[in-house]
Chains A and B, each alone.
Chain A
């Protein structure tokens, strides 16, 4: 299959695949068990320059975009969707700085993110504000040349491990979500602490925690974009980050398919490899077809964003919905092909099935994504009529 990658993109993909196979796959089960943060892998990714791929060259990056980031996430996710998330979530955290940061803010953080010296994270979700992101309650009260942040962000990937956090908080609660702003908070700022570490079903090789703010003072220069523009920062960030989630789902699905295919050759029943049975063959064929379709859509979304298209919400959401639904289906089928062994932790596919589930939920549930897709469709058709 030719995906029309540049030589450099092919190089990125190959290197990420090598790290996934040689360094991540052997330890994926251990991290799944322990739930520890995979610093040893982050270090390898940093040394290999993989954190540089999506950062502009003027900030010590290699000047790629969302496609390059997605290729890395896909390859890493083939070995472990959890460990890959440590990388992907830092990418998510870097996006608002790249999109909305001023020169000074970019210079301060992007070179260090590119070098992998620090990780980034993004915080929007709260206990009572999930799909209804406009319901956030965290406040950032302007006070002289500072903001004073109070509130709690929930289920934040890389929480406690990342050094720089972009959080959305209400700088003017009277205006509701139109009074929200995106603020960068460094780990170690007084009044900024981390809550409990979540005990998750899957992606256990990544860390998910609460961000707790109690009279946390940050300088006003940490504002990203304009005051009142917080919701826009969040939405534009997600438009660009969704192909990353799609790539994670795609990698998990491909990883499960590879395992299922290999197992179907090895496993003998009725005196034959089970790959010789049509029931299994049809399953494998469907899985492969779905994965290939998800891949095409994911790359298309990434390439659309990298080409600088204006309205990317629809294609971005389509990629996320389709790839994550595919991952859930393909990993479930992979467990089925493995039969009883598939249900056991000694084999890798049950973990993949657990890892896949989150991709249908986070960075906007698939139901919210469908709403985004439909709304843009309706808007487009109205525009044509008018």
Chain B
């Protein structure tokens, strides 16, 4: 089975600051990591390979330093690593990124299963996965929390997480799946893997290597326009009701009532007993 896992290199922190002048992320001094959700995608790719055989190829688009992230993926045990890197790809939004990644996957000869994280922690859009699938004209299922089975006849049954509960879905391969963190516990690298990662050659494809319409890549192919990025102000004020839950809730209800908020007569009258 050919498995492709797409990963993104992101800044390692949830506390990334935004430069208020330029509305861009302050990246100086922030270490880069593999997007945490993509670690679950890598793990699931490796697990499927361990059960069903085949190869896992890790794919990413970005500047040359993304090689570091790809080497980390190799240290976890993936077979091949491919980087799509070209000045022409720079400034891509989710639409152009999905288009370019799809071209990369076609160049690799396609895949039975493409794994991705549900979203990247820097952009948080969750659009690239489905976008890649649409470009490849294959089905996709997002937010997978479990692969139940992959049958010989090329059908796959998965559980897709919902806010409450899950749905069980069946589709045919090839398929693109985006995963949630409930799906597995990512492994740690091994020393042998790390040593192998140091030596491994990483394939890099530039624009000319791929079958691409130059109008649809990079900044040119990106209709998204970021008007403003800002840190929303923390809600000010508020009142904290502390103490035993029963008393705190009673105090809250009393306060709401005295403020003239329309509470249901029953709750208001009976308190919480």
Contact = CB atoms under 8 A, between A and B. Distances in A.
A47 B190 contact: yes
A312 B187 CA distance: 39
Contacts of A52: 191-192
The secondary-structure label for the interface of chain B is helix
B189 A15 contact: yes
B240 interface: no
A53 B188 contact: no
Interface string A34-67: 0000000000100111101100000000100000
A48 B195 contact: no
A349 to B, nearest CB: 27
Contacts of B187: 47
A18 interface: yes
A138 to B, nearest CB: 38
A79 B30 CA distance: 25
Contact of A8 (B188, B189, B190, B195): B195
Contact of B188 (A11, A12, A48): A48
B17 interface: no
A23 B188 CA distance: 10
Interface residues of A, number: 17
B146 interface: no
Contacts of B191: 11-12, 15, 48-50, 52-53, 62
Contacts of A47: 187-188, 190
A44 B190 contact: no
Contact of A19 (B188, B194, B198): B188
A7 B187 CA distance: 22
Interface residues of B, number: 9
Interface centre among B187, B188, B191 (most CB of A within 10 A): B191
Nearest to B192: A49
A15 B188 contact: yes
B242 to A, nearest CB: 21
Contacts of A49: 190-192
B188 A18 contact: yes
B76 to A, nearest CB: 11
Interface string A1-38: 00000011001100100110011000000000000000
A22 B190 CA distance: 15
Interface in B119-175: none
Interface in A88-138: none
Nearest to A45: B188
A11 B190 contact: no
A22 B189 CA distance: 13
Contacts of A12: 191
Contacts of A18: 188
Contacts of B194: 11, 15
Contacts of A15: 188-189, 191, 194
Nearest to B193: A49
Contacts of A50: 191
Interface in B184-231: 187-192, 194-195, 198
A11 B190 CA distance: 10
A18 B186 CA distance: 13
A19 B187 CA distance: 11
A12 B193 CA distance: 12
Interface of B: 187-192, 194-195, 198
Given A47-B187, A50-B191, 15 more contacts: A7-B198, A8-B195, A11-B191, A11-B194, A15-B188, A15-B189, A19-B188, A47-B188, A47-B190, A48-B188, A48-B191, A49-B191, A52-B192, A53-B191, A62-B191
16 contacts: A7-B198, A11-B194, A15-B189, A15-B191, A18-B188, A19-B188, A22-B188, A44-B188, A47-B187, A48-B189, A49-B190, A49-B191, A50-B191, A52-B191, A52-B192, A62-B195
